[in-house]
Chains A and B, each alone.
Chain A
Amino acid sequence: MDLSTVFQSTSLIVPEIVLMLFGMVILILSPIVKNQKNDYFLYVGIAGVVLSFVLNLGRFNSEAIAFSGTLRIDNFSAYFNSLFLFSSLVTVLIAKDYLKKNTPYINEFYALILFCTSGMMILASSVEFMTLFVGFEIMSIAVYILSGFDNTSTKSTESGIKYLVLGGFSSGILLYGIALLYGATGSLYFTEIISNFSASPMYIAGISLVLAGFVFKIGAVPLHQWVPDIYQGAPLPVTGYMSVAVKAAAFAVLLRIVLDLAILPSGYLLIAVQVVAVLTMVIGNIAAIYQSSVKRMLAYSSVAHAGYILVGVAALIADRSVGGQGILYYLFAYTFMNLGAFAILAYLSREDRDCDTFDHIAGIWKRKPMTAVALGVFMFSLAGIPPTIGFFSKYRIFLSAVESGQSFIAVIGIVASVVSAYYYLKVLVYAFMKQDEYGFGSHKPVSSVAITVLAIATVFFGIIPAFSWELAVEASKNLLAIVY
């Protein structure tokens, strides 16, 4: 490998490098700049994300392999990278209003979001386990810090240490799985692992441990118990970011691994995914009904949504020609609606307390009618009621299950999402029909712009899904077309 190959590979990952450089600039300059009142570093962070987003657009409709085949840059990774960059942009905007007075370390927050996003982008492009692990840990360690970011709050630090211990545990399991796969096949590349496939116990144990590591990260049953605790304790913008971007990153890798490595015994794999999907939908939705905290309710709802996406994964395993588009589109839809829901909670939070229980959102309709309408849009979308993006994406997921001959799982999914309407509409009952008792936070101009954009996108793509659906179809084609 000569120098020009290195330069050529490096030029292919410029969007990631831009994010890291901007993050480092923030980290290095923020202690030097005296006047902390100004938001210089917010602009640096936004500039980094936007620049990276624009550069990433150039990756659509191109295919390239970088760093001796460890990174694969194609429509699939470009699609996911756009999701990560969009959600980090929204998170930075929400956090600007939310964290302003709570914490003195706001500049480090922007830097961590940038680092975390660059880790996700590496993760979505990686086709080799060493790169995958490094990307996974860049993402994870940054998220551990972010979830324990407010070190004055006992809840936040508790959430941080719990996430660190459980996340470290899951990455230990993932790593041991990688070690076993390496032992069974003698390679870390997906291509070579699959060509040296043998149904040895070591291979099967390895792939099972790797999958377990990712089941943890997407928060599917039986490894979901961490989700509500950590979502409740973390600062609200971080919770939104975790529930959207970290989950999408884990699904991106899971798709590559499920499609490439877990070919045998695929009968068992299909049954395992079906069982996990059904349990995740049922347990997530039932547990969400009994929550008194809106944050915990949304946490369990995000468990349930992981279950809906797993229905798509089951369809994909059963029949490769369906399923992929649905999953990709669902993650796209979920980015808008779930970030929107958490953005509204952050918007309604006051300096002295988060918007947490149902009483805290009572009576928004009287005080802030536009926010109440936006909340309605997001809740309808999460529940899958037309004409929102949530309906179209759920329709596609369940349609793919039916097309792959698994109608029963689609029926369970539809029943589960009918049940979920109960707790989403309960939020709206409080928002529109109850009297307000506690009062809300002051007006946050930047967040309200972000919420407006998200709400309009949720409705717009629900009515006219064609463009975004095409993107998902193209990206999934790219995923399936890879012949190893």
Chain B
Amino acid sequence: MEITVSHYIVLSAILFAIGVYGVMTRRNILVVLMCLELMLNACNLAFIAFSKLHGGMAGHVFILMTITVAAAEVAVGLAFVVAIYKQRQSLDIDLLKILKG
């Protein structure tokens, strides 16, 4: 079977869905951050596939931007993880409920 562009699109959609599911259900902040990365990387895969389809470079360049942004986001996220772990000795999302009305 030949692998075509549409296979990559389906794969990226599946990866994106796994990422969304993970962000919604996982209880550990680190795993949630990993699932966010998965979402962004699914987008990267889609960009590459579409770039191949249309034959332009815009998709390739966009990925460089996305990778940078994802790295910055995770750097900030890990800083928060450290601050939260220092305060509570736990990374369980269910403990983040001080703020409520």
Report A's interface with B, CB cutoff 8 A: 129-130, 133-134, 137, 141, 144-145, 148, 151, 154-155, 157-162, 164-165, 168-169, 171-173, 175-176, 178-180, 182-183, 186-188, 228-230, 232-233, 287, 290-293, 296
Q: Are B58 and A162 in contact (CB under 8 A)?
A: no
Bound state CA distance, A326 and B54, in angstroms?
40
Q: Are B99 and A229 in contact (CB under 8 A)?
A: yes
Residues in chain B near residue A155, CB distance under 8 A: 98-99
Majority-rule SS of B interface residues: helix
Q: Which of A160, A171, A180, A187 contacts B80 (CB 8 A)?
A: A160
Q: Are B43 and A164 in contact (CB under 8 A)?
A: no
Q: Are B80 and A157 in contact (CB under 8 A)?
A: yes
Bound state CA distance, A281 and B54, in angstroms?
43
Q: Are B87 and A137 in contact (CB under 8 A)?
A: no
Tell me how far the C-beta of A453 lies from the nearest C-beta in chain B, rounded to whole angstroms.
31
Residues in chain A near residue B96, CB distance under 8 A: 158, 161-162
Q: Are A182 and B47 in contact (CB under 8 A)?
A: yes
Q: Are A176 and B50 in contact (CB under 8 A)?
A: no
Bound state CA distance, A232 and B56, in angstroms?
45
Residues in chain B near residue A151, CB distance under 8 A: 83
Q: Are A186 and B54 in contact (CB under 8 A)?
A: yes
Top 9 nearest A-B pairs (CB, nearest first) are A172-B39, A186-B54, A183-B50, A179-B46, A175-B43, A161-B80, A229-B99, A137-B69, A168-B36
Q: Are B43 and A179 in contact (CB under 8 A)?
A: yes
Residues in chain A near residue B101, CB distance under 8 A: 228, 287, 290-293, 296
Q: Is B14 an interface residue (CB 8 A)?
A: no
Those of B36-63 within 8 Å (CB) of chain A: 36, 39-40, 42-43, 46-47, 49-50, 53-54, 56, 58-59, 61-62
Tell me how far the C-beta of B92 lies from the nearest C-beta in chain A, rounded to whole angstroms.
12
Q: Which of B39, B65, B99 contacts A159 (CB 8 A)?
A: B99
Tell me how far the C-beta of A200 lies from the nearest C-beta in chain B, rounded to whole angstroms.
13
Q: Are B9 and A165 in contact (CB under 8 A)?
A: no
Known: A176-B43, A291-B101. A168 touches B58 (CB 8 A): no
Bound state CA distance, A165 and B81, in angstroms?
11
Report B's interface with A, CB cutoff 8 A: 9, 12, 16, 19-20, 23, 29, 32-33, 36, 39-40, 42-43, 46-47, 49-50, 53-54, 56, 58-59, 61-62, 65-66, 69, 72-73, 76-77, 79-81, 83-84, 87-88, 96, 98-101
Q: Are B77 and A168 in contact (CB under 8 A)?
A: yes
Offer 7 A-B interface pairs, CB within 8 angstroms, sorted by A.
A141-B73, A158-B98, A165-B23, A179-B43, A180-B46, A229-B100, A233-B98
Tell me how far the C-beta of A67 lies from the nearest C-beta in chain B, rounded to whole angstroms.
13
Tell me how far the C-beta of A277 lies from the nearest C-beta in chain B, rounded to whole angstroms.
23
Residues in chain B near residue A165, CB distance under 8 A: 23, 29, 32-33, 36, 77
Majority-rule SS of A interface residues: helix
Residues in chain B near residue A129, CB distance under 8 A: 62
Bound state CA distance, A287 and B66, in angstroms?
37
Known: A165-B77, A169-B20. 12 other contacts (CB 8 A): A133-B62, A133-B66, A134-B65, A141-B73, A145-B79, A161-B29, A165-B23, A169-B36, A172-B20, A173-B39, A175-B39, A186-B53
Q: Are A172 and B19 in contact (CB under 8 A)?
A: yes
Q: Are A157 and B69 in contact (CB under 8 A)?
A: no
CB-nearest residue of chain B to A290: B101
Q: Are B99 and A133 in contact (CB under 8 A)?
A: no
Tell me how far the C-beta of A142 lies from the nearest C-beta in chain B, rounded to whole angstroms.
9
Known: A144-B76, A176-B39. A157 touches B100 (CB 8 A): no
Known: A130-B62, A168-B73, A291-B101. A158 touches B84 (CB 8 A): yes
Q: Are B40 and A172 in contact (CB under 8 A)?
A: yes
Q: Are A183 and B53 in contact (CB under 8 A)?
A: yes
Q: Are B77 and A164 in contact (CB under 8 A)?
A: yes
Q: Are B73 and A176 in contact (CB under 8 A)?
A: no
Known: A130-B62, A134-B65, A182-B59. A176 touches B77 (CB 8 A): no
Bound state CA distance, A133 and B61, in angstroms?
12
Q: Which of A133, A145, A159, A287 contacts B69 (CB 8 A)?
A: A133
Residues in chain B near residue A175, CB distance under 8 A: 39-40, 43, 66
Tell me how far the C-beta of B84 lies from the nearest C-beta in chain A, rounded to whole angstroms.
5
Q: Which of B19, B47, B87 contacts A157 (CB 8 A)?
A: B87
Tell me how far the C-beta of A57 lies from the nearest C-beta in chain B, rounded to whole angstroms.
30
Tell me how far the C-beta of B4 lies from the nearest C-beta in chain A, rounded to whole angstroms.
14
Q: Which of A164, A178, A186 has the most CB of B within 10 A?
A: A164
CB-nearest residue of chain B to A169: B23
Known: A148-B83, A157-B83, A161-B81. A130 touches B58 (CB 8 A): yes
Tell me how far the C-beta of A167 lies from the nearest C-beta in chain B, rounded to whole angstroms.
9
